[in-house]
Amino acid sequence: MPGSAPDFRFDAFRLSSRAGAISGTLDARSLPNVAESLVAGDDPVPIAWTIAGRASADDRPALEIDLTGSVPLVCQRCLGPVDWPVAQATEVLLARDEKELVRLDAEVDGEVILADRPLDPATLVQDELVLTLPFAPRHEGECPSARQ
Ligand SMILES: [Zn+2]
């Protein structure tokens, strides 16, 4: 089914060590933490994602999460819809357990995720998408309603 959330999980450390990549498309409306920020509607909001395994600059196991798409947000000035482009690439470091998560979080500037079990791509995509969306989206320049 196009746009549905993937129903598989993957081993993040294995993907990282073999520099593999997985990709897909999911509907932002299917992501609970994102859906509430979207303009109401039934039309799907496809987000193309790629999760690529690699080593970080200091040779730690990492993933790069790429998101591409456009999401309809509510302009906080005129309350009209504003299409917000998403083009985000984020590197996250992998922690094997809670202890390593705490240690890495203290040591590095970047994002660290716990990968002590197989991960759900939809969860990673949702978390990154939430981080990339503006807290108070607005039309650039004048709002369309103000131009009329
Ligand atoms: Zn506006």
Is 20 a member of any domain?
A: yes
pLDDT of residue 4: 47
Burial of 132 (0-12, 13-18, 19+ CB in 10 A): middle
List pLDDT tens digits, range 105-122. 999 988 999 999 999 999
Is 107 a member of any domain?
A: yes
Distance 137 CA to ligand 1 centre (A): 8
Residues with Cβ within 8 Å of 99's Cβ and at least 6 positions away in sequence, in order, are: none
Is 92 a member of any domain?
A: yes
Is 7 a member of any domain?
A: no
- pTM for the full model? 0.88
Q: Dig out the tokens for 93 from the structure.
A: 């470091």
Distance 78 CA to ligand 1 centre (A): 4
Give yes or no for residue 5 having a pLDDT over 90.
no
Distance 146 CA to ligand 1 centre (A): 8
What range does the domain containing 30 cover?
12-135
Is 60 a member of any domain?
A: yes
Distance 71 CA to ligand 1 centre (A): 15
Distance CA 5, CA 133 (A): 20
* Count of domains for the chain: 1
Distance 120 CA to ligand 1 centre (A): 35
List pLDDT tens digits, range 60-110. 999 999 999 999 999 999 999 999 999 999 999 999 999 999 999 999 988
- Phi, psi of 75, rounded to the nearest 5 degrees: -65, 130
* b/e sequence 53-69, b meaning 16+ C-beta within 10 Å: bbebeeebbbbbbbbeb
Is 142 a member of any domain?
A: no
Give yes or no for residue 3 having a pLDDT over 50.
no
Ligand 1 ion local residues (Cβ < 5 A): 75, 77-78, 80, 139, 143
